[in-house]
Amino acid sequence: MTSLVQLPRRVVADASSAASSAVSAAANAVGDVVRIPLRPLLPSNSVDDWGRDDHLIQALSPYIRLRWAVTVGTHHHLPVHAGALLVTNQRRYSLSPMYVAWALGQAIGRPVRFVGRPDIAPVGAALRRLGGLLHDPAEVEGALRHGELVVLGTSPTNHPRHAGVVDHEIVGAAVMAGVHVFPVASMSARLGRSARADVGPMVRNRHNRRGPLAEVELSEAVQRSLQKMLDEFGGTYTGVAPIDWLGEG
């Protein structure tokens, strides 16, 4: 006859508890090994509701100044507390929405975000920490409704003084959020650090319309205002065309 030996329940529970404790301790040890070397030196509460890390941006500001020395002009047009959509021209590969957002944020002392971060890791997550938003009207409208300043780049162009097409869907998000739209003319040197960002006055539609035509007409009006500001920009004139071309961007 084979007899079945039953262990006391307390012994089984103690053995199970000990195994669970061992697994938890091992997991914590592995987590500590992984987390400690990667733990940032910044405060844990430095990220706002939209993912922007102000402490990180301030820490990176000296390095950003090594790349761009931005002169900001006429930023008194911007609202002090309300949200607004800022549309800037964009030469191809110039990253103008990023440096315009950073420069305006430093000048007016409030967060400024930019549209255009990709929704892929790790680039998207890194740009979100720097204030990037998805090129999505819903996300932009949400930020504008909460009183945020958002920079939108036009379609990229090869010429530094040409204002590209303005995305009417993002402008429509500003219309739905009930905020104003401002043109921001920007220019940066191709081979130097000098850059410039001038904020123009608020752009209004000539006619009060409802529906999709309102955002289309407002987008075209912003593009015209931006082109006018770029035409008035003073550039580099040395008499040598290649040097003048490289000196602006």
Query: pLDDT tens digits, residue range 93-104?
Result: 999 999 999 999
Return the pLDDT at 35. 41
CA distance 101 to 112: 5
CA distance 139 to 131: 13
Are the beta carbons of 104 and 195 closer than 8 angstroms? no
DSSP symbol at 207: S
- 106 or 244: which carries more pLDDT confidence? 106
Q: What is the dihedral of CA 125, 178, 108, 220, to 10 degrees?
A: 90
Query: pLDDT tens digits, residue range 60-88?
Result: 999 999 999 999 999 999 999 899 999 99
Return the pLDDT at 237. 40
Collect all residues with Cβ–Cβ distance below 8 Å to 127 and sequence separation of at least 6: 117, 118
Q: What is the CATH number of domain 54-233?
A: 3.40.1130.10
Query: pLDDT tens digits, residue range 2-20?
Result: 555 554 554 444 544 554 5
Percent of the chain exceeding pLDDT 90 equals 63
Collect all residues with Cβ–Cβ distance below 8 Å to 211 and sequence separation of at least 6: none
Collect all residues with Cβ–Cβ distance below 8 Å to 179 and sequence separation of at least 6: 82, 83, 84, 85, 144
- 188 or 32: which carries more pLDDT confidence? 188
CA distance 128 to 150: 13
Q: Do β-strands 112-115 and 132-133 pair in parallel, antiparallel, or remain unpaired?
A: parallel
CA distance 243 to 138: 43
pLDDT-derived band at 50 (thresholds 50, 70, 90) equals: confident
Return the pLDDT at 201. 96
Query: For tokens 């739209």, what's the residue?
Result: 181
**CA-CA distances (angstroms) from residue 100 to 7, 33, 68, 120, 197?**
72, 39, 10, 23, 6
Cα separation of the two ends of the chain: 94
Are the beta carbons of 154 and 213 closer than 8 angstroms? no
The residues spanned by each domain of the chain are 54-233
- 17 or 107: which carries more pLDDT confidence? 107
Answer yes or no: is pLDDT of 193 > 60: yes
pLDDT-derived band at 91 (thresholds 50, 70, 90) equals: very high
CA distance 184 to 139: 21
Query: pLDDT tens digits, residue range 116-157?
Result: 999 898 999 999 999 999 999 999 999 999 999 999 999 999
